[in-house]
Structure 1
């Protein structure tokens, strides 16, 4: 039972649950969509026992940036080395001993100088789509404990769900806005087609052909010409008139 767990375990369990909800929540403040990701690094340190952590996120163009780190050394190191490699490969990267030659000498030197003896990177991914990496730095060499590794994977998976769902929602919002713009542009065109057809005693299709020809001849958008005609700020010569 939960009540039988030590207080520390209970608190960590509650923090983990809260963090997973925050990361996967897609209804938060759209003005600050990266807030849960910025918090993730500090939460990861508390939940996994790592000495430091950083979070990499790829934008929709694929460009990587550090969106959160528990300290400045971790921020600088997250931007290079295992983090980008993890994102590129889409699989976890583990370096259990920083001085073992598995990493570039400059990265190793800077990491050791910051007090880090091992580094682990977990892909922020959902199914086949990888959007970043969660990077953990340990002060002692050795494998990441199984429990800590499981927590890190859960955090990374929840972050991926939140990021991708927010992006999907923004995509749908952009499509809806584009469709609304197209509809708003189409309404005056349809109205003018009817007006011209009645005025000139031609078919609606012929009226539209005349409207389109005039717009092209004068390098105008059809919707703008139609709106101008309705507002009385533009005119269209009748069939047979001068369209130049």
Structure 2
């Protein structure tokens, strides 16, 4: 009698494999009306959870052809991204401007990074950052509406932070969770909150 058992080796999935699969599913299974900035913010969250990095952020080319801050996993990374935009130098700017032609751009605690981006290096070292890897994100199309959505969301986060004394990360989480639960665009909710309106459910539970 012939043994027809499939003898291909089955490799069990590790916890990391499962987390990667969950991240891919979360990032790819979005509705047609998904919010771009929410997707990018979730990407930074997955990056910090799966990689040995302290924080992650994303810069984009806006509709004027300029590099601009889009989103970050925490406040320190947000400040470092905005500093690069203000100074006009830094690894994230170079990577974004190259549109991927340079490949990954690295900044390390060495003379090379200091010589290439001297003003940014000073800020990075003061913040305790000794290494940065800027990896270009390639896409067949470039969204030019992401930045304006980002402005509303950042303003709403600031309003909630000031009103309730919570962190910017918690403010974003509350906005996103509320928008998802009511199935409304995150950007629409952010505009309402930024204008001084918004639901009372966003207030922290005492």
TM-score (norm 2): 0.51
C-alpha distance in structure 2 between counterparts of 1:88 and 1:76, whole Å: 19
Match of 2:42 among 22, 39, 44: 39
Match of 2:60 among 26, 34, 57: 57
Give the CA RMSD over aligned residues.
2.7
The structure with more radius of gyration: 1
C-alpha distance in structure 2 between counterparts of 1:122 and 1:84, whole Å: 11
Moved more, 112-121 or 19-28: 19-28
Aligned counterpart, 1:92: 104
Cα distance change of structure 1 residues 48 and 130 upon mapping to structure 2, 3 Å threshold: farther
1:59 CA displacement:
3.5
**Offset from partner CA, 1:84-123 (integer Å, 9 cap, x none):** 1101112210123355424322211111111111111000
Q: Is the 8 A contact 1:37 1:55 kept in 2?
A: yes
Question: What SS does structure 2 have at the residue aligned with 1:51?
Answer: coil
TM-score (norm 1): 0.44
Structure with the largest fraction of strand: 1
C-alpha distance in structure 1 between counterparts of 2:126 and 2:37, whole Å: 30
Cα distance change of structure 1 residues 35 and 130 upon mapping to structure 2, 3 Å threshold: closer
1:62 CA displacement:
3.1
Aligned length: 124
Q: Is the 8 A contact 1:87 1:130 kept in 2?
A: no
1:115 equivalent to 2:125? Answer no
Cα distance change of structure 1 residues 22 and 93 upon mapping to structure 2, 3 Å threshold: same
